[in-house]
Chains A and B, each alone.
Chain A
Amino acid sequence: GQQVMQIPQYQHVQEGEDFTTYCNSSTTLSNIQWYKQRPGGHPVFLIQLVKSGEVKKQKRLTFQFGEAKKNSSLHITATQTTDVGTYFCAGRSGGSNYKLTFGKGTLLTVNP
């Protein structure tokens, strides 16, 4: 079945440093989504990418979808303590009845 790999598993940064997490799928995706989960909370939707090569920005967050629609990245510029949490990517292959396959997530911790 479809597999979504996400790296790194953990990342610790000093406040102000940049952060990137990468997501790779074993199959071509119809779209990819990113979620954030604060410690003790539930996953919250951040963004969806649909088009090959798409780049979207949300303030300090930049999301990219690869040309082959099999990989994606999330980059945070100048991290803040409010960025702490686990970031998940989730992809759907065509015809999968709206089931998403989630990556295992990257836990980001930020030292103030």
Chain B
Amino acid sequence: DAGITQSPRHKVTETGTPVTLRCHQTENHRYMYWYRQDPGHGLRLIHYSYGVKDTDKGEVSDGYSVSRSKTEDFLLTLESATSSQTSVYFCAIKGLGADTQYFGPGTRLTVL
């Protein structure tokens, strides 16, 4: 795989608590993405980054924020988790010279 790790891999939390998911890449790629995957909805883009401190919203960004202070790390934060944010979260990077995206192993988040 493309040197992408996500942490934690599984998390159970309670409604109203803050949660931060981490995506780490060893490939020094500029573009990084956060998606959520839910049954019947496929993969939906939450936020993406096109460089250090350069981020933008995707189609389902409400309730989420991101930060990228280093090339290798892209953090996704749920400021106050809700049950509707129970999902599998995937991080991805864009390969060089193409639109190909390489996905991390995913984080399964459950909000009770």
- Chain A residues proximal to chain B, CB less than 8 Å: 1, 6, 30-31, 33, 41-45, 48, 88, 90, 92, 97-105
Contact = CB atoms under 8 A, between A and B. Distances in A.
Given A99-B58, A102-B42, A48 B103 contact: no
Contacts of A98: 31, 48, 50, 94, 99
A7 to B, nearest CB: 13
Interface in B68-112: 90, 94, 98-106
A10 to B, nearest CB: 11
Contacts of B104: 42
24 contacts: A1-B59, A33-B99, A42-B105, A43-B43, A43-B90, A43-B101, A43-B103, A45-B100, A45-B101, A48-B98, A48-B99, A48-B100, A92-B99, A97-B50, A97-B56, A98-B31, A98-B50, A100-B101, A101-B45, A102-B42, A103-B42, A104-B40, A104-B42, A105-B43
Given A43-B101, A90-B101, A101-B45, 19 more contacts: A1-B59, A6-B42, A30-B99, A33-B101, A41-B105, A42-B90, A42-B103, A43-B90, A43-B103, A45-B101, A88-B42, A97-B50, A98-B50, A102-B35, A102-B44, A103-B42, A104-B40, A104-B41, A105-B42
A90 B33 CA distance: 14
Contacts of A92: 99
